[in-house]
Amino acid sequence: MKSVKHSLLILNLVIVGGTLGYMALEGWNVLDALYMTIITISTTGFAETKPLSPLGRLFTIILIVVGVTTLAYLGGKVAQVFLEYKILRRRRLARQIEKIENHYIVCGFGRLGRIIINEMLEDRVPLVVVEKIPERVEELMEMKVPCVAGDATHDDILLEAGVKRARGLVAVVASDAENVYLTLSAKVLNPGIFVVTRAIEDDTEEKMRRAGADRVVKPYEIGAHRMVNLLLRPGIVDFIDVVARRKGMELNLEEIRLENNSPLVGKTLASSRIRQYHNIIVVAIYRSNGDFIYNPAADAEFHPGDRLIVIGEDQRLAGFTALCKNPR
């Protein structure tokens, strides 16, 4: 920044010197001399204000050389400052990403990616975005969203995004082929990562599952099912939207994983007295072996690694989450 200030100071001195030079050599007034100085050093090519003497022409030649050199030097310094700013900003983001753990990686900042990112930001979920289009990367930086510029199918880019420390990854890049390759790369680098990927073509879903995708989403198919449900069961859809999206009411639907050292492990739904103590409804239990128990009975026992689908108020859910994760 100091170099830019010095360049501006030199430019001002050139302008002042040129103005005084024309006043002394040609006897012009301040306005004519300043005008001639500006059009000379900017090389705009306008006609001379007044006819120049031989000495005035020699002075003009010197002024052109000095002025153009000064402007070029100033332009280089300004470009250098912007480049250094971008480099520093990227380094700052890289250091920030290095500190993030148990986060989610969103690969792709297109139409679907934007919606995903906005939803996750609303829920204050730690995330890192991978995008290769420079304009979109700049937009993410303006939003102050941690991001990595590059092709998400490259291992080094995924590693820079912290794939080995990440909890989950969403693959919504341009094509199904890229999403398949991205899923495979993520699973190789971190076998335990939970991958959700988008499929556009019907015949790519099986390929994505073979590549390791835990869930495959078909936007058109889901959109069609949703439209049918809105026609036939609009009240149910509205209720699920309100609960799942956490908009308009304090009642929320949440998924909580039961850790091995939780005091709930080994207890039944009845003996844990979750409803009485926490005012929370256990809607379903998703076992670690893949079994799904909807509306569990009172004698349903909690096992380590169970994922509990529960409904409750924010404060109640926070306390219950701590109970599921805290040691005995």
Q: Which two tokens stand for residue 136?
A: 């979109």
**Closest to 38 in 3D by CA, of 61, 6, 16, 10:** 16
Domain range annotation of the chain:
2-94, 101-222, 248-325
Whether the CA torsion 285, 211, 105, 219 is positive or negative: it is negative
Read out DSSP for 135-164? HHHHHHHHTT--EEES-TTSHHHHHHTTTT
Give the pLDDT of residue 53. 78
Which residues are registered as beta bridge partners of 128? 105
Residues 310 and 320 sit within 8 Å (Cβ to Cβ):
yes
Blockwise average pLDDT, block size 10, the chain, 328 residues: 73 84 83 82 72 81 83 79 73 82 95 93 92 92 90 94 95 94 95 95 90 93 91 85 65 84 88 86 88 90 90 83 72
Q: Which two tokens stand for residue 49?
A: 């204000």
Q: Identify the CATH assignment for 2-94 out of 2.60.40.10, 3.30.365.10, 2.40.30.10, 1.10.287.70.
A: 1.10.287.70
Burial of 103 (0-12, 13-18, 19+ CB in 10 A): buried
Encode pLDDT of 112-139 as tens digits: 999 999 999 988 899 999 999 999 998 9
Superfamily of domain 101-222: NAD(P)-binding Rossmann-like Domain (3.40.50.720)
Assess whether the region 2-94 and the region 248-325 belong to the same CATH fold: no
- 3-state per-residue secondary structure call for 34-95: HHHHHHHHCCCCCCCCCCCCHHHHHHHHHHHHHHHHHHHHHHHHHHHHHHHHHHHHHHHHHH
Q: Cβ neighbours of residue 148 under 8 Å, at least 6 residues apart?
A: 93, 97, 128, 129, 130, 131, 157, 160, 161
Burial of 126 (0-12, 13-18, 19+ CB in 10 A): middle
Strands 307-313 and 281-286: antiparallel
Measured between its terminal Cα atoms, the distance across the chain in Å is: 57
Give the pLDDT of residue 45. 66
Is the domain spanning 248-325 CATH 3.30.70.1450? The answer is yes
Read out DSSP for 273-317? THHHHH--EEEEEE-TTS-EEES--TTPBP-TT-EEEEEEEHHHH
Encode pLDDT of 54-72 as tens digits: 887 888 788 888 888 888 8
R_g over Cα of the chain:
32
